[in-house]
Amino acid sequence: MGVETIGRWFGVHAAGSTVRREVAGGAATFVAMAYIVVVNPAILSFAGIPAGPSTIATILTAAFGTLLMGLWANRPIAVAPYMGENAFLAFGLAAMHVTWQQRLGTVFVSGVAFLVVAAAGIGPWLARSIPTSLKHAFAVGIGLFLMLVGLYEAGIVTSGATGQPASSLADASGLLRAPPAALRLGDVRDGRVLLAIAGFLLVVVLQARRVRGAIMLGMVATAVAGRLAGLGEAPHAVFARPFGGDPGLSSIALRLDVPGVLTASFLPVLVTLLLVSFLDTVGTLVGLGAAGDMLDERGDFPAIERPMVVNALSCIVGALLGTSTSGAFIESAVGIREGARTGLASVVTAALFAATLFLVPLVEPLQRLAYVYAPALVAVGIAMLPAVRGIDFDDPTEVAPAVVAIAMMAFSYNVANGLTAGLVLHPLLKFATGRTAETTAGGWLLAVVCAFYGIFGLPH
């Protein structure tokens, strides 16, 4: 197939692009988000999913979703396991003491539900039902949550919590003494902590200089510095034949526990994953559509159902392979800025992800070093904070639910708590202030579902 034929197949010229721009854009997107191959398995290892096989699952899921986005939806948008959702599975469900097989089961079931919502056309309706301030607040809250995870994993902050109520802090005279801080500064003199701080600063400098792949380059440089300081190990190899031995997929693929999560007690988790992935998808698609001039005259993303279906199918396939919830990546904006406008760019990105299957031995050591991947979490979290500008701080009925959502995500160490609190509080405040006309049927439906989560959910 010649270059001109490829261009016609994807409608490259009609979209105002060229094949060369599409290839360059697809490569730029891959470089910008390649860090997910390191970070996602590292995070999921805390859920009990072995990092080696998880790396293969992450790569395959990214290649599948991105290829489908290119060939079927014809959009220059890459798909991979989401940051935020992976942390929710690893850390947010810790109190439930569920197995990693059940965690994958929740990804699968919520993915099927997402597919039904997208294919039935319910997705756009629900998207319009979520207040703008809350959409932005969710992005900010997830960003702060990722930052907290990164700071904790790096050892920059550590826990000093006792879990005791204030009444147990009374001294002999009956006066309350100062409680231990829930979080406190870690040992910043530790070599690993210093490396994490240096790695974060390097990423910021590279981003400020608009260097492509700043996060991945910062991680590699930090790993090299750690190795030279005797705080890490070198890769045992550079290349390996995929599926030829260790790591392989057999230990996690098709090991998900679906029947185990089809219970009332798991409903809050399923609803949370569905809502978070749905909100991430809508927010990312609209943001990328605006960046690439792909929105219609009303500011809507045309044929949004197709990218939604791609994201849902990626979640399902990812769960079967052994990884977390997937969706459109905001880093696709890097390729769009390079001029990518069609699915050809996504095909290029997918091919590059597939090529990394041969480089897994090079990646593995990075996943065992918190000082390497933790700064990436902080950097990604910071990138999500500008969404705070979309919150209406002049309206108490808008700012209160938004800030409560943000605070609960970060301070309760659980994305679901903040998401549900905001969606419940918003219509209640509108009703209490006589502004029911500003609510929607979809908003009340989401509030009822989220109230169910808060009242009947498992410890969270």
- Domain spans in the chain, listed from the N-terminal domain onward: 9-161+180-456
Contact yes or no for 139/88 (Cβ under 8 A): no
- The more confidently predicted of residues 272 and 114 is 114
Asked if pLDDT for residue 174 goes beyond 70, the answer is: no
Radius of gyration of the chain (CA): 22
Residue 225, both tokens: 């510095």
Angle formed by the axes of helices 3-10 and 19-33, nearest 10°: 70
- The more confidently predicted of residues 65 and 265 is 65
Whole-number pLDDT of residue 135: 78
Whole-number pLDDT of residue 90: 80
Summarize pLDDT for 147-156 with one digit per residue, the tens.
Answer: 887 888 888 8
Residue 254 makes CB contacts below 8 A (sequence gap 6+) with: 320
Angle formed by the axes of helices 415-432 and 441-456, nearest 10°: 130
Residue 382 makes CB contacts below 8 A (sequence gap 6+) with: 143, 147
Whole-number pLDDT of residue 448: 85
Averaged pLDDT, 138-164:
76
Whole-number pLDDT of residue 300: 64
Amino acid identity for residue 104 in this structure: L
Averaged pLDDT, 196-208:
92
Asked if pLDDT for residue 460 goes beyond 50, the answer is: no
Summarize pLDDT for 351-375 with one digit per residue, the tens.
Answer: 999 988 888 777 777 767 778 878 8
Asked if pLDDT for residue 175 goes beyond 80, the answer is: no
CB-based burial of residue 78 (10 Å sphere; 0-12 exposed, 13-18 middle, 19+ buried)? buried
Name the residue with tokens 């608009």: 210
d(CA 394, CA 403): 13
Whole-number pLDDT of residue 202: 93
- Closest among 1, 19, 379 to 205, alpha carbons compared: 379
Averaged pLDDT, 68-95:
84
Least confident of 165-174, 219-228, 410-419: 165-174
Asked if pLDDT for residue 425 goes beyond 90, the answer is: yes
**Is 183 strand, coil or helix?**
strand
Asked if pLDDT for residue 84 goes beyond 90, the answer is: no
Beta strand extents in 231-336 (DSSP E only): 326-328
- Closest among 82, 384, 50, 371 to 232, alpha carbons compared: 371
Asked if pLDDT for residue 232 goes beyond 70, the answer is: yes
Contact yes or no for 78/310 (Cβ under 8 A): no
d(CA 141, CA 174): 38
d(CA 95, CA 93): 5
Asked if pLDDT for residue 141 goes beyond 80, the answer is: yes
d(CA 196, CA 191): 9
Q: For residue 322, what is the DSSP state?
A: T
Averaged pLDDT, 263-292:
74
Mean pLDDT of the chain: 81
Whole-number pLDDT of residue 459: 45
Reported residue count of the chain is: 460
Averaged pLDDT, 212-240:
79
Least confident of 246-250, 406-410, 440-444: 246-250
The model carries a pTM of 0.74
Per-residue DSSP letters for 332-359?
A: HHHHHHTT--SHHHHHHHHHHHHHGGGG
Contact yes or no for 460/416 (Cβ under 8 A): yes
Whole-number pLDDT of residue 458: 47
Whole-number pLDDT of residue 399: 95
Q: Which residues pair with 183 in a beta bridge?
A: 159
Averaged pLDDT, 108-117:
90
